[in-house]
Amino acid sequence: MNTFRTLLLWITSCALAGCFVSSFIAQWFVPKFNAPISGVYAQCDCASVTLGTAASMFHWTLIGLLVGALVGLVLGLIGAMAREKKPKPDATSPSKPA
């Protein structure tokens, strides 16, 4: 149960970090794809442009969440396997003479 909690902690924390990183990157990335191609700012359907921009932002945030969760899963599994490989002290081994 302790391994599961540790793994869940890794997944959650890395997913949250992925959301933050993707949100910061998307601030500069999304407007480049939603800007007008020509230098002329034509009148457009502002509601659909706004919804498209918000959808793109949520899309990239979700991708960051999933990538972060996957990285957390891998790191948590590696940490759990490394912890299991540590040799445990034997209870039957003789103690050091005093």
pLDDT digits (tens, 9 = 90+) for 3-54: 788 888 888 888 888 888 887 887 777 777 666 666 666 577 666 777 787 8
Long-range Cβ contacts of 25-31 (<8 Å, 24+ apart): 25/60, 25/64, 26/56, 26/57, 26/60, 26/61, 29/60, 30/56, 30/57, 30/60
**Global pTM exceeds 0.75:** no
* Domain extents in the chain: 2-33+46-85
Q: Return the pLDDT at 29.
A: 72
Q: Return the pLDDT at 18.
A: 86
